[in-house]
Amino acid sequence: MTEPYLTTVLREAEHVAEQHEQVARTIDNQAHEYLRYAVLRILEGQADHLPTG
């Protein structure tokens, strides 16, 4: 049940890392910050480039 959600978050984190690299520029743990920002984007409906379903 959680696998589709995890896949979505990881895809969005990859997108964030590629398109919004400034998000984690000054952070010690970049992967954590990319994941955090990815979850926020998904919750706010800003991840419309991801397939639904």
Count how many residues are written for the chain: 53
* The model's pTM: 0.69
Q: Which domain holds residue 17?
A: 3-43
* Model pLDDT, residue 12: 85
Residue 24: inside a domain: yes
Is 50 among the domain residues?
Answer: no
* DSSP for 3-52, written as a single string: HHHHHHHHHHHHHHHHH-GGGGTT-S-HHHHHHHHHHHHHHTT--TTSPP
What angle in degrees, to the nearest 10, is found between the helix axes of 3-19 and 30-43?
A: 110
Q: Is 34 exposed, middle or buried (0-12, 13-18, 19+ CB in 10 A)?
A: buried
**Is 51 part of any domain?**
no
pLDDT recorded at residue 4:
81
Q: Provide the number of structural domains found in the chain.
A: 1
pLDDT 10s digits, 1-53:
478 888 888 888 888 888 887 777 776 888 888 888 888 888 888 877 776 65
Please give the pLDDT value at position 22: 79
Kindly state whether residue 49 falls inside one of the protein's structural domains: no
